[in-house]
Structure 1
Amino acid sequence: MLIMALLMPDVQADDDIRLQLRWHHQFQFAGYYMALEQGYYQQAGLKVTIVPGAPGISALEQLLAGKALFAVSAPGAVLAYLQGRPVVAMATVLQKSPNVWLVRADSDIYTLQDLASSKLELSLTQENAEFLAVFAKEGIDISKLQLTNSSMKLDDLISGKTDAFNGYLSNEPYLLEQLGIPYRVIQPVEYGVNFYQDILIGNADWVRQHPKQAAAFRQASLDGWQFALDNIDYTVNYIHQHYAPEKSIAHLHYEANVIRSLVMPDLVELGHMNPERWQQIAASYQALGMVKTLRPLDNFIYAEPVPTDYRLLIKSVLLLLLVITLLAFFTLRYRRLASALQAEMNRHAQTERLLVERNEELLQLASTDILTGLTNRRVIIQQAQTEIRRASRYQKDLAVMMLDIDHFKQVNDQYGHAAGDRVLAEFAALCMQSIRDSDLAGRYGGEEFFILMPEIDLTTAILSAERLRMTVAAHPFKLSDGRELSVSCSIGIAMYMPQQDDLDKLLLRADQALYQAKHQGRNRCCVQQ
């Protein structure tokens, strides 16, 4: 009985634990509802009250004011920590950010650069710094943005009062779909800015004074999230019945599916936090001028304390031999657990690094021609459409060149396809060396290439084409067996005409100019007016 008393957990709650949510009741907080409903908090000896949020109520400030011991907050919590306030990040629920810009599908807004010159409606709080950080990362002056404080209603976007509205991927898109209003989504994550979201934070002073209660609350909350994600139908019906009757079952299901994709439970352990990623988030706040200096985040990122029961030592006089045995057992077990925990943490960190690397590789594969390393046809066509819109809007010159290696079939027939591939790769390298940094070269297909040249007049475009043509003609193309061969290229040039051109017409004129060059004997440049 003595040993059982020593080993029993002593987690007790002297007072109610208030958990402050950051918004109204919805599936966004499903894990906490399920931890309460399934009895996980009660089994841990905790009495928990869940408090909904509302407009004008900051969950972080509620926690710092002592009105809650825990809260669901945005990454702005790290800013409070850097300012010396007592806050600790217990766990991260959403590994990918749901923050997005919503624009109407009938607008001309497609990219972040388009947003920079548009009317933006944004909740101007620290919690939405992610929206500003992505502009800063792209080198866009934030002070010149047309920002107005959000009304939190979609009416402004629908009516056209604002061009872009900051929303949550799991909520506003559903409402727009129900209204039958086509829309587009611009996500910060597409530009390399991906903040954690829906972070479970705690009052650092209370967590330090009650480590076992804090650890028990964190684990019970994560168990609740696991249950919610494994039992979506049950959870949706429960939330609709007990917390959010004003939301339809269909809306809650939509939200649940989006939330699950952002939690990424099949790839990342629930609640996992990467210190390097937190450091990057903190650096984003510094870049925005919201904090002057950074400091280590060791005390911000929660680390569960290793349990050490000193009562065993107090009872050692009575149970000396047993205590020595138990002490040896637990020491060995602790080392194994610590080693396993470190290995697991390393595995998760490696998994996250591999995930980032794979995403970068997939993005590179999706946009690059494998043989030449140039931009592929799909991406260069997309960029051409963007440049046409920009040239039309700002009345800028735009030229395109279509290039074709002369008699390329003879190279393949005489020397083999491996030699043909070497010629294509060297030709692509010569194109890259001959164009400006602002130009974009791509492989259009086979031996045909495409160069997009923004802000260039016809005379300069012709000079650039001639320089490239002569460079190719003078270049010895070396084969793998040491032999050299000479090739030439034909080039067709077309200038964008704002009053009559779209992309198809512009490409057609460039292609016609290329045909003219080949028809006139090849190894020459022709212009199609």
Structure 2
Amino acid sequence: MRYFLITFSLVTMLLWQMPFANAATPVTVQLRWLHQFQFAGYYQAVEQGYFAEAGLDVTLLEGGPDALEPTDKLLRGDIDFAITASGVVMRRLEGKPVVAVAALMQTSPLVWITLKESNITTPQDLVGKRLMMMPPPESAELVTILRKEGLPVDTVQLVPNTYRLDDLIDGKVDAYDGYISNEPYVLNQRGVDYNLINPRDYGVNFYSDVLVTTEDLANSDPELVSAMKEAVERGWDYAFKNVDSTIDLIQANYAPQKSRGHLRYEAEKIRQLVMPELVQLGHMNPGRWQMIAESYQDLNMTRGNASLDGFIFTPPERADYSYIIYSLIGALILLAIVMFIMCRFIYLSRLLTEEIAQRREAEKELQEANKALQTLSITDPLTNLYNRRGFTELVNKAMSRAARERTELAILALDLDHFKKINDEHGHLVGDHVLVRFAELLTTVARPYDTVARVGGEEFSILIERVDIDTATKIAKRIRKDTEALQIMHPDVDEPIRMTVSIGLTLNTTSVIDIWRGADEALYQAKNSGRNRVVVI
């Protein structure tokens, strides 16, 4: 027995040392921007030795205005990994051999920032304005909301980014391409009031800060890429659990010019974008990547049409090299190991059962988190109605259903008359209250099986299935009448707020595009005919 224990200990030590026998592999990572909390997980992976444990000697290259598109350096072979935006999927569609390893932020931090005094609060308000932005694909999300709202890019004045927030404050531009985790803190410190136009509020909810590598490296050395991914995720887990020490590290080694208050603000905002309590760090959903790619294609932001197969990195299964050790050990050691396994069989079986249960629970939690994210992506956060994306999906299904059942359906396009005046006179909080009350009115008047959606700022739509033109018209007229009679009270307003609504109605046509076009044309006629009326096409 003593001989067995000594020999078994030597074998165990040999097996433990084998993965670390090779020298550390040099790896270069291009950061997306200047040093800040945005890359805290990478700093801690270096500081805590996670990269070193994985056999990696990592060099972090600071980004900035001269390194806006690190994917170019990656494809040239200048670096091994890069951190970039969701626009990298356009490169893959164009046939470029890039592979997404992990997505840190489940929601993009990019927002349009405008001064409070400008009253620019929606994409529609940007028409004719000067917009300072980084070149695509870094700012793809901000261009996407313009096109989703039906605003061609040539309706705004795009200004190259000087990366000087003072250009916004001094009125040289009307809107600034910024991070929700950075510029708002600076404006708060300087006492400048501002508005944020967030792509997420308009159904644009893309990944951000995506760790990418080349297809060649992912295929030739998947163990290295997998080790890199695990070390980065461990670093971010440590950073979120130890924010104060992470801020100390950043100030000491990376960004001494940033205050503790600024770094803490950034840490809180980034945690909201990463959502570590809901989503596993680095998680990527293939269906969501496909949706992001299709969004870019639908909006003509790329002409690429290559397959996304192989775009998402899949870690390799752990190879079992224990047979090498067994072959070097004599029959006596092999027999001793078998005896040991037999003695521990019951204990190991119990551990295996617990591991399976834990994995099933983790998979269940992940499915629930994905379901919650899906719900968020099709829901308007202010009114809890469907947003444009969710409503469009339902219209597509309803058209197919109507064709099968040989029934008719109608779409109502509704627009609150002179709503901007309410915002200008009473402020956006009162305007939001009005929108919520109007949404409640629509839900009350609509039939239980009709679908109500908010598809824009003050624009709403209703899908009415299994209906004839007379019934649909009665519903539309009742909405118009009830809206005209509605008196909305708010603590900040002395007199009741009253409003009217213009409604366009069209009945079942041959395609989704035609029924949308018909409803919009009817609404256009209603507004041009004096508003506060129903027009049927």
TM normalised by structure 1 equals 0.69
Relative to structure 1, the CA distance from residue 284 to residue 436 in structure 2 (aligned partners, 3 Å threshold; closer, same or farther) is farther
8 Å CA contact 1:283–1:294 kept in 2: the answer is no
Shift of 1:164: 0.6
* Equivalent position amino acid for 1:158 in 2: I
2:163 is the alignment partner of 1:130: no
SS of 2:276's equivalent in the other structure is coil
Q: Does 1:31 align with 2:57?
A: no
Q: Which amino acid aligns with 2:55?
A: G
The percent of aligned pairs where both chains have the same amino acid is 36
Aligned match for 2:243, one of 215, 232, 236 = 232
User: Which residue of 2 is the match for residue 452 of structure 1?
Assistant: 501
Which amino acid in the other structure matches residue 56 of structure 2? L
Q: Given that residues 313 and 323 in structure 1 are in contact (C-alpha distance below 8 angstroms), is that contact kept between their aligned partners in structure 2?
A: no
Q: What residue is the counterpart of 2:476 in the other structure? A: 435
Q: Structure 1 residue 199: deviation in Å?
A: 0.9
Q: Distance in 2 between matches of 1:47 and 1:434?
A: 68
Question: Out of 372, 382, 400, which is 1:354 matched to?
Answer: 372
Bigger mean CA offset, 55-64 vs 264-273: 55-64
**Paired residue for 2:117?**
106
Residue 40 of structure 1 pairs with residue 50 of structure 2: yes
Q: How does 1:300-379 map to 2 (within 5 A)?
A: 300-309=311-320, 312=323, 315=326, 344-345=362-363, 347-357=365-375, 363=381, 366=384
**2:305 aligned to 294, 301, 309, which one?**
294
Q: 1:199 aligns to what?
A: 210
What secondary structure is seen at the aligned counterpart in 2 of 1:161?
Answer: coil
Equivalent runs, 1:10-409 vs 2, <5 Å: 10=19, 12=22, 15-57=25-67, 58-309=69-320, 312=323, 315=326, 344-345=362-363, 347-357=365-375, 363=381, 366=384, 386-388=419-421
Q: Which amino acid aligns with 2:59?
A: T
Amino acid aligned to 1:253: R
Deviation (angstroms), 1:252: 1.1
Pick which of 236-245 and 74-83 moved more.
Answer: 74-83
Deviation at 1:62, TM superposition (A): 2.1
Alpha-carbon offset, residue 81 of structure 1: 2.1
User: Unpaired segments of 5 or more residues in structure 1?
Assistant: 369-381, 393-421, 468-529
Within 1, Cα distance between the matches of 2:370 and 2:101? 19
Task: Give 3-state SS (helix, strand or coil) of 1:175's partner.
Answer: helix
Cα distance in 2, alignment partners of residues 333 and 229 from structure 1 = 30
Contact in 2 for aligned 1:312/1:323 (Cα 8 Å): no
TM-score of the pair, normalised by structure 2: 0.68
User: What's the offset of the Cα at 1:433?
Assistant: 3.3
Larger Rg: 1
Letter in 2 for 1:433: K
1:386, CA displacement in angstroms?
2.8
**Cα RMSD between the aligned structures?**
4.3
User: 2 CA distance for matches of 1:332 and 1:64?
Assistant: 48
| Matches for 1:478-517 after TM superposition, within 5 Å | none
Distance in 1 (CA, whole Å) between partners of 2:533 and 2:40 is 64
Closer, same or farther: CA 10–177 of 1 in aligned 2, 3 Å: same
Q: CA deviation at 1:243?
A: 0.7
Q: Residue 268 and residue 24 in structure 1: after superposition, are their counterparts in 2 closer, same or farther (change >3 A)?
A: same
Asked if structure 2 preserves the Cα contact closer than 8 Å seen for 1:441 and 1:452, the reply is no
Q: 2:392 maps to what in 1?
A: none
Instruction: Give the SS at the match of 1:127.
Output: coil
User: Match for 2:28: what amino acid?
Assistant: R
For 1:309, what is the secondary structure of its paired residue?
A: coil
Moved more, 258-267 or 332-341: 332-341
Give distance in 2, aligned partners of 1:285 and 1:362. 21
